Amino acid sequence: MNPLQNLEKMVEDYVRQLAEETDEFRKSAAFKEYLDTMSRFWQYSYNNQLLIHVQKPNASRVAGFRKWNDFGRHIKAGSKAIKILAPYAKKTKEKDTLTGEEKEVVRTYFWPVNVFDISQTDGKELPKIDIEVTGDSHKNVLDKLLAYCATRNITVEFKDLGINGLYGYSQGGKIAIDSKQAVNMQVSTLVHEIAHELLHQSPEGKKFSKNEKELQAESTAYVVCKSLGLNPKSPNYLVLYKADKDKIMANMEIISGMAKGILEYTNGKISIPAILTISTSQIFNSVF
């Protein structure tokens, strides 16, 4: 077997392994507990989401005073409440303008309600899903990935992305990576964002759903990290985007093509642009 066939087999084995691990995590008690907790948070309307954003742009998880107490957390002294509008129904008697008859009608009114962001509370930890890759051992790979980005005209900026678990993002020709993260997490994030750049900026790539995009990007990060000897927690991330074994396997060609392209470059073999290894028909033959 030549080295390229070896790479191909290794990459496909890792995609299969990821598919198995993701299904296992979906069935785990840890994931069930996480879902149970998250389902107890109210889903706010679009208008209330706007109100929250205007008053506290970094808010990530918001609930009322009593709900936080139920979770074993309390509001820190001096925290400024976020005001949202809660609907309530009120029965009133109104005269029918035509018949003059009095009848009961139900009207909806809005009332300001105080909520607080998780950053304004402390106490018992909420169940969390660990998605971080730890350690600083792979600085040399990070440098190679940056060189790879330069060949693709992608600029990479390291900056503080705040407190809300945002590790990085891609904007079309530009990637930002959280400077606070461990080097190995930056490696994983950079691979994830490179996959978004190369797979999801074209008109065809933009047609994928958010869940499909995350599946393809994070699976690529998993395969690259695994082959570098890192311990990625991608199954934990992927279940948040409704991925399962079948969906991952249906994206085998896209994921392995992308991962191979990056690994061929970082391993210093050949610098075939990864995007050329994936044809549009392959992208659209993947079933979702």
Judged by the rule CB under 5 A, the positions of this chain that interact with Zn ion are 214, 217
State the residue number with the nearest CB to Zn ion.
Answer: 217
For residue 168, the minimal CB distance to Zn ion (Å) is 8
Q: How far is the CB of 28 from Zn ion (least distance, A)?
A: 23
Q: How far is the CB of 87 from Zn ion (least distance, A)?
A: 34
Quote the least distance from Cβ 11 to Zn ion, whole Å. 20
Residue 94 β-bridge partners? 103
- Distance CA(273)–CA(189), nearest Å, equals 20
Question: What length is written for the chain?
Answer: 288
Pick 31 or 167: Cβ nearer Zn ion: 167
Where helices occur in the chain by DSSP H, the ranges are 3-26, 29-39, 46-55, 65-70, 139-151, 183-200, 210-227, 234-239, 245-250, 252-266, 280-285
Closest to Zn ion by CB, 42 or 288:
288
> In the complex, what is the shortest distance from the CB of residue 241 to Zn ion, in angstroms, rounded to a whole number?
9
Residue where the block lists tokens 């074209």: 202
> Can you tell me whether residue 104 is helix, strand or coil?
strand
Tell me whether residue 121 or residue 220 sits nearer to Zn ion (CB atom): 220
- E-state strands within 49-101: 62-63, 73-75, 82-95
Nearer to Zn ion, 37 or 155 (CB): 155
| Of residues 120 and 189, the one with the C-beta less far from Zn ion | 189
